[in-house]
A and B are shown apart, each in its own frame.
Chain A
């Protein structure tokens, strides 16, 4: 117990050093106190700290400074001191126009209590799901943690690559032996996904093969939700029901539908890039909106820096963000075509000389220091253009509604329509809004021009990318894109609820006053019921970790006893948490592909030109083809499920059994 408390103490110290302190210092010393509320400062400190930690260690690695516990600690303390010293040297804070900053209504005690309750329920709901999924078994998380473990054990940033196995004759791959043909880059991994975990593992001493990665993802995920909340607060700040709308946004994104989709499921599933990307997209948009609405260069700079971090963190999120940004710009220009010249002057005002220096530095960093692994013409061109597979042509509307939460989707779309109409700057629409009296007390300038365009663009572009990606020349898995729409939908759904309830309470409401409260309760109840039933359906049974634990035990044995320079083979079909086996073996000489894996059986049929050795060596180890494969690939150790696959090795004199537990057996090829 004492050891556990000590570990937790170090863990939270590591989080403070990597994910809180650097960003907090930046905001404290370079942004006026009036510009950010305490809550905004606390939330935004984390993506900024993430940025500082990631780039500090990346630069250190490229300067051949080994990434160890001591160097990480010293570097982060040094960076924090530099930030403090820098602020003293400049001797001024980047003050925003005070007439803008003081307009934010402070949260009342009642609001704070409600928000506190919402956060507590969020922790309970997501915690209830995670308690049965916190044990590290996820395949995706295992793949990511291999690279984290490489950094931890070697102290270096290694290129994302793996040895490739190809059949000698791809046209007859099922009967052809295979061999190693070289090393190939892996564009799926990006450095920003791994440095933060390595830093925390090094500083705290906690193993990568633990709950630590999922806990960090959980924290990042909660920060994403917090960022959506503060973004909504700023967007709706001038509305009489603005704070209520932001609280409703927090409810629809934080408590309701809190597990399925890109929420708690992605946390335990180890969808690292998505979780980090959601936080960075939300915080980047926050800073861009505020910089444009308030003509604030500091916020603009922070937005650019966070966008750069996104570039180094997750390719899909960066892709989505790019589309959001372009659509935002186009939407804004179309809606404000008459005043576009004045807005262009604002953009040029924000882009002053030192901003251009920063942009130039970023471009130089990208091309001369570390270029993200996915930024090559082939990867980019494969993501753009007409959808090339059936899974990329868009998803049916019903599927999008289900994945977003039915009532949330309905409220979100309704909210978007109402938002678009009543805050429209088009004279024709304004006139009709006034005539209908639905815009009473709702002036167009209650919503900033940039925020107005953002909400419309953000929602519409993701709807289009999910339903009809061919219109936008998007060639990416549609179900993955659809997970991003929950954030703008939550904002518009929260707005919808607040707007409806506010107008029901107005004297001019068409409903009799006796029906006002029941109607409000009804509208709120159905989304709560739908959202909580979605949570209930998503909960998992108590896990059976015994199988995974035995896999880890076996992996430790392999790590200690695998002959040098040899390769191992294992099965993906019947071994629990098998992708974590390579994490145990990660060191300076290991390869991502080792142990080789017999993949899902269907994949050998769907990709007939891929190597079939891995299947043959486990399914028929006595065959001539398997023997040739064993020789070509230097396979020495083979781990299989005892019940499913041990039989064919036990009968074979070419193999000896060297390890057995209740689930697995390991064989050594003579």
Chain B
């Protein structure tokens, strides 16, 4: 194999290693859970015309003990505890209907949804 062929092979290998390393880095960075600490809540059906208050908790945080309560017509339900491992999500079906507000707490963070 002459020198130019070896050079081309070497340069191709260098490029492949660089590009694949960058791809691997981005893959880890784009993972919702890897090295991250956040969570999200959302309505399954957000339309105001649908009075269902069912919602989803998606956990990408290190902590996994959530509590949630529903407030409707000035009544607040008892807090319910739910355990959601990091990287998982849970759909929560609740009997209350709109108008109401959902309050979810994880550690010191609180998030709300309302209809």
Q: Which of A37, A549, A657 contacts B4 (CB 8 A)?
A: A37
Complex contacts, B6 vs chain A, CB 8 Å = 112
CB distance from B45 to the nearest CB of A (A): 8
Chain A, Cβ-Cβ closest to B102: A657
Does B74 make an interface contact (CB < 8 A)? no
Does B75 make an interface contact (CB < 8 A)? no
Q: Give the docked Cα–Cα distance between A662 and B40 (Å).
A: 7
Q: Give the docked Cα–Cα distance between A550 and B41 (Å).
A: 12
Q: Are B14 and A119 in contact (CB under 8 A)?
A: yes
Q: Give the docked Cα–Cα distance between A554 and B4 (Å).
A: 50
Q: Are A657 and B5 in contact (CB under 8 A)?
A: no
Query: What's the A-B contact tally at a CB cutoff of 8 Å?
Result: 140
Q: Is the interface of B mostly helix, strand, loop or mixed?
A: helix
Q: Is the interface of A mostly helix, strand, loop or mixed?
A: helix
Q: Are A109 and B47 in contact (CB under 8 A)?
A: no
Q: Give the docked Cα–Cα distance between A37 and B3 (Å).
A: 12
Q: Are B22 and A215 in contact (CB under 8 A)?
A: yes
Q: Are A660 and B112 in contact (CB under 8 A)?
A: yes
User: Which A558-596 residues have a C-beta within 8 angstroms of B?
Assistant: 561, 563
Q: Are B26 and A135 in contact (CB under 8 A)?
A: yes
Tell me whether A127 and B37 are in contact in the complex, defined as CB-CB below 8 angstroms, given that A39-B8, A557-B42 are known contacts: no
Complex contacts, B19 vs chain A, CB 8 Å = 215, 218-219
Q: Are B114 and A553 in contact (CB under 8 A)?
A: no
**Residue of B7, B19, B41, B58 with most chain A CB atoms under a 10 A cut-off:** B19
Q: Give the docked Cα–Cα distance between A130 and B18 (Å).
A: 10
User: Which B1-57 residues have a C-beta within 8 angstroms of A?
Assistant: 2-8, 10-11, 14-27, 29-30, 32, 36-43, 46-48
Complex contacts, A561 vs chain B, CB 8 Å = 46
User: Which A179-217 residues have a C-beta within 8 angstroms of B?
Assistant: 210-212, 214-215
Instruction: Give the bracket for the number of chain B residues in contact with chain A.
Output: 35 or more
Q: Are A119 and B10 in contact (CB under 8 A)?
A: yes
Tell me whether A546 and B22 are in contact in the complex, defined as CB-CB below 8 angstroms, given that A112-B6, A116-B10, A656-B114 are known contacts: no
Q: Which of B21, B43, B115 contacts A131 (CB 8 A)?
A: B21
Q: Are A670 and B3 in contact (CB under 8 A)?
A: no
Does B73 make an interface contact (CB < 8 A)? no
Tell me whether A39 and B16 are in contact in the complex, defined as CB-CB below 8 angstroms, given that A549-B32, A659-B41, A660-B111 are known contacts: no
Does A38 make an interface contact (CB < 8 A)? yes
Interface residues of A, Cβ cutoff 8 Å to B: 4, 7-8, 11-12, 37-39, 42, 106-109, 112, 115-116, 119-120, 123-124, 126-127, 130-131, 134-136, 210-212, 214-215, 218-219, 222, 543, 545-546, 549-550, 552-554, 557, 561, 563, 656-663, 666, 668, 670
User: Which 8 A-B residue pairs are closest in the complex by CB-CB distance?
Assistant: A211-B26, A658-B46, A661-B40, A662-B38, A659-B42, A112-B3, A38-B4, A123-B18
Query: Please, could you name 8 A-B residue pairs with CB atoms under 8 Å apart, sorted by A?
Result: A4-B24, A4-B27, A12-B16, A112-B7, A124-B18, A219-B19, A657-B114, A658-B115
Interface residues of B, Cβ cutoff 8 Å to A: 2-8, 10-11, 14-27, 29-30, 32, 36-43, 46-48, 58, 109, 111-115
